[in-house]
Amino acid sequence: MSKKALIILTIMVTIVLAVSIPVLHSKAQSKKPFVPVLMYHHLQKEGTFDSKKYGGVIIDPERFEKQMLYLKAAGYHTITLEQLRDFVLYNKPLPPKPIVITFDDGYLSNYTYAYPILKKLGMKAEINIIVSYVPDEVNKQKPEVVIPHFTWQQAKEMADSGIIEIESHTYDLHGYRSNDFKKIPMVMGPVIIDGHLETMEQYKERLYLDFLRSREIIKEKIGKAPICLAYPFGSGNKISDEIAKKVGFEMAFGIKEGVNYYGDNIMKLKRITVRDSDTGQDIVEKINKLSRDTGFIPFWDIKNMWSEKNILSSVIKGIFAGYEDGSFRPNKIISRAEFASLIDRAFLKDKPVLQQEISFKDVSQNAWYYKPIANIVNNGIMKGYEDNTFKPHNPITREEAISVLMKFYEPKENIDFIFDPADKNDISSWAYDFIKKAYENNLIAGTNKDGKIYIYPKKPLTREEAAVLLDKIVKE
């Protein structure tokens, strides 16, 4: 897409956002199943472009990853376009919290950043490409293309992975032309071509040839014909809908804000624009507002925290979960019983449960934590105290937790690192080497206070700290 076209797009999106305030449905409507569809474009590292110039639709890759982590941790399931089509047309059942991820235009950043992130998380998406903009080689872009687009080879790789669907954003109608009164999107109506205003028949023929060409080329290059057309600037109309269906498209996206229900117009599917400042929580708030869903926002109390990515990842890995009110409670102190349960869940879930009884006088066999404590004690991971207690309700300290966790971590060899925290004398002798290795391997960072590093080994471990440590140590 040219820089001028991208600026025009962002203006159109802004206008639609301003005027397309959703009609509030009744409470009965809010209970109906629905599918939100997110709309992305280009991903680029924050600080390397003027965000306001592009209307806030360019997303930092790190932010995109956090958004995807959040959606997955919050229980959303990405679905295919076929699933969306069958839901809207036939009310076919979908997984809980279905969602569709879309990208428009076909930027190289979709391949470089989005594709690996989605692949890692086991999520799906679809990319609507401007077919004439797709080069055979990255360094052979069309002269008017400012932001590079991925190649056909890269498109085929993504499509073959099953992660990405390649769909159409027209062959070459992503622009504006004059209709002798004003400039309009080229799909919207007759425009001036070669100095003459098209007749209605010429306009229809132009759409037909473009739509057909885009579909045939994608089928030739990818091996599968696209079923979806994303209208440039959301400019579809009844005429374009009929022509799109005539050439084989079964559904179409615009840029009108909203969510999609069974029985909606399959050629007028709604989407939700993701902005460059949106967090995962912000996206779910938009979904809830547009769907009249009064559900809570999951993990609302970790928004924009430095540890957010690790916390969400630990949830996805099945180590942690949130509370019924949607909170994570990052500052909550972890007890020895809770820590034992975390270790059992993170590291022993694939191992046989050792059934030997334990006889700590403060651990009842009826307690919820009896089995995880028995398992980790029988596996030699944690011990009780000399007075035959385990003290399950006592907070576990940072040095205790780190010493246990380092038993499951293979540290890097030959690290030339000076470990000299200001409070090293507070570290128990049995924990010193474990904490040193954790620090050297960037599992813990310590707290910088007046230019000195403090470990605070006797400080109780919080859920936030445990989530970060476990996420770094537990493999996918």
In tens, the pLDDT along 384-397 reads 999 999 999 999 99
Question: Which tokens belong to 186?
Answer: 């080229």
- 175 beta partners: none
| pLDDT value at residue 26 | 33
Lowest mean pLDDT among 260-269, 293-302, 319-328, 393-402: 293-302
pLDDT in tens, 342-357: 999 999 987 766 667 8
Q: How far apart are CA 59 and CA 43, in angstroms?
A: 5
Q: How far apart are CA 174 and CA 180, in angstroms?
A: 19
pLDDT in tens, 292-308: 987 789 999 999 999 99
State which amino acid sits at residue 177: R
Average pLDDT, stretch 186-194? Answer: 97
The more confidently predicted of residues 18 and 167 is 167
CA 465 to mean position of chain CA atoms: 23
pLDDT in tens, 214-232: 999 999 999 999 999 999 9
Q: Three-class SS string for the chain?
A: CCHHHHHHHHHHHHHHHHHCCCCCCCHHHHCCCEECEEEECCECCCCCCCCHHHCCCCECHHHHHHHHHHHHHCCCEECCHHHHHHHHHHCCCCCCCEEEEEEEECEHHHHHHHHHHHHHHCCCEEEEECHHHCCCCCCCCCCCCCCCECCHHHHHHHHHHCCEEEEECCCCCCCEEECCCCEEECCCCCCEECCEECCHHHHHHHHHHHHHHHHHHHHHHHCCCCCEEECHHHCCCHHHHHHHHHHCCCEEEEEEECCEECCCCCCCEEEEECCCCCCHHHHHHHHHHHHCCCCCCCCHHHCCCCCHHHHHHHHHCCCCCCCCCCCCCCCCECEHHHHHHHHHHHHCCCCCCCCCCCCCCCCCCCCCCHHHHHHHHHCCCCCCCCCCCCCCCCECEHHHHHHHHHHHCCCCCCCCCCCCCCCHHHCCHHHHHHHHHHHHCCCCCCEEECCEEECCCCCECEHHHHHHHHHHHCCC
pLDDT in tens, 369-387: 999 999 999 999 999 999 9
Is residue 8 pLDDT above 50, yes or no? no
Model pTM above 0.85: yes
Is residue 261 pLDDT above 60, yes or no? yes
- Alpha-carbon Rg for the chain, nearest whole angstrom, is 27
Is residue 30 pLDDT above 70, yes or no? no
Q: Provide the mean pLDDT of the chain.
A: 91
